[in-house]
Amino acid sequence: MKIKVLTVFTLALALFLSACGKSDADLAKAANDKLAADKVTGVTVAVKDGVATLTGEVGDITVKNKAEASVKSVEGIKSVTNNLTTKPLPVATPSAPDPALTAKLNDALKAAGCSGAAVAVSNGKVTVTGEVPAAKYVTCVQTIQQAGITGIDNQLKKGK
């Protein structure tokens, strides 16, 4: 009699669990496997009632987004709470001291046909004034941003 009760109970439990789908532990394992397959590291996944919570610190926002998408794609995960943080960024260093950077910028601007632009550099931050032909505008902005500067105040005007 006792055995029979136990059997019925076990069967009922098995039926109950299978009706619920995968357990949280299974989902967490599947999520971790998916993250590993997608080469995302540094992420801890906790699953409760099918809701995954991601914690940890990752390199940048693209990794944060990728981790979320990876875990969302796991069958059985209902939703994802993305509590990942991104690594604090190192402080940018200018490619040269201000006078050298100014000279470099002026040379590059002249070479790019942007001689109407004037730059003033302070601790790597560049204030750009003056006017360049509208057709040259993007090129001039590119030239300035590629000089190894760490800040910009763009007041450059588009002329004719």
Partner 1 sequence: MSAQEKYQTLLELANQNGTTYELSEGDNGTLVVTGVAPSEEAKTQLWDEYERLDPEFRSNDLILNISVGQAGGSGTTYTVESGDSLSKIGKHYGIAWKSIWDANRDILNDPDKIYPGQVLKIPV
Q: Which of 17, 36, 92, 120 binds partner 1 (CB under 8 A)?
A: 92
Angle at 91 between CA 117 and CA 146, to 5 degrees: 30
Question: What is the DSSP secondary structure assignment for residue 59, as one 8-state letter?
Answer: S
Q: Which of 51, 125, 131, 133 binds partner 1 (CB under 8 A)?
A: 125
**Residue 145 interacts with partner 1 (CB under 8 A): yes or no:** yes
Nearer to partner 1, 47 or 144 (CB): 144
Nearer to partner 1, 35 or 47 (CB): 35
**Residue 135 interacts with partner 1 (CB under 8 A): yes or no:** no
Dihedral in degrees, nearest 10, Cα atoms 126, 132, 136, 142: 0
Q: How many CB atoms lie within 10 A of CB 21?
A: 11
How far is the C-alpha of 137 from the C-alpha of 127, rounded, in Å? 15
**Residue 131 interacts with partner 1 (CB under 8 A): yes or no:** no
